[in-house]
C-alpha cells in the first residue's frame, strides 16, 4: 500500500485534564501517514482521484476547532475515526504531540495505528 503523509501540522485546540487548561487553547503537532493507493491519481495526473492534502488539513482544522477533550488519547482516537470515515482511508498512523506539556521533555504524546494495511 502506498502512503500519503502530512508532518508537523500544528493545530490549536482545548486539551487537558487540569482546570487551567480547560480555559485556553493549546498547540498540538500532528504527524499523519495515510494508506492510499496513488496509482489511480498518478495514471492520468488527476487530482480528484488523489487524497487531497488541503481537504484533509481543513478537516483536521475543523475537528481541532470543535474539540474539547481532556486526553490526547481521545483526540487521537476520534480524529482517526473521523478521517477514515470522511475520506475512505483504510489505514492510518497518527502521532499527536503536545509540546511544552513537561518542562523536562521536548514533547509528550501518543501514536496510534488504525485500520488494515
Q: Where are the alpha helices (DSSP H) in the chain?
A: 39-44, 53-66, 72-87
The residues, ordered by sequence, that sit 6+ positions from 33 with a Cβ below 8 Å of its Cβ are 3, 4, 5, 92, 93
Q: Give CA separation, 5 vs 51, 57, 62, 76, 100, in Å.
A: 10, 11, 19, 16, 24
**Catalytic annotation on 98?**
yes
Q: Of 98, 105, 108, 115, which residue is the catalytic one?
A: 98
Are residues 6 and 32 in contact, defined by beta-carbon separation less than 8 angstroms?
yes
Give the strand pairing for 3-15 and 68-69: parallel
Q: Which are the catalytic amino acids?
A: 98
Amino acid at each position: 500500500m502506498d502512503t500519503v503523509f502530512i508532518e508537523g501540522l500544528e493545530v490549536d485546540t482545548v486539551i487537558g485534564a487540569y482546570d487551567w487548561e480547560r480555559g485556553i487553547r493549546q498547540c498540538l503537532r500532528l504527524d499523519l501517514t495515510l494508506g492510499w493507493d496513488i496509482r489511480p491519481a498518478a495514471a492520468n495526473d488527476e487530482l480528484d482521484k488523489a487524497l487531497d492534502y488541503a481537504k484533509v488539513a481543513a478537516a483536521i482544522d475543523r475537528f481541532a476547532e470543535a474539540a474539547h477533550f481532556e486526553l490526547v488519547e481521545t483526540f487521537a482516537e476520534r480524529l482517526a475515526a473521523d478521517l477514515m470515515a470522511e475520506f475512505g482511508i483504510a489505514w492510518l498512523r497518527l502521532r499527536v504531540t503536545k509540546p511544552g506539556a513537561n518542562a523536562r521533555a521536548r514533547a509528550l504524546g501518543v501514536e496510534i495505528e488504525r485500520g488494515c494495511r
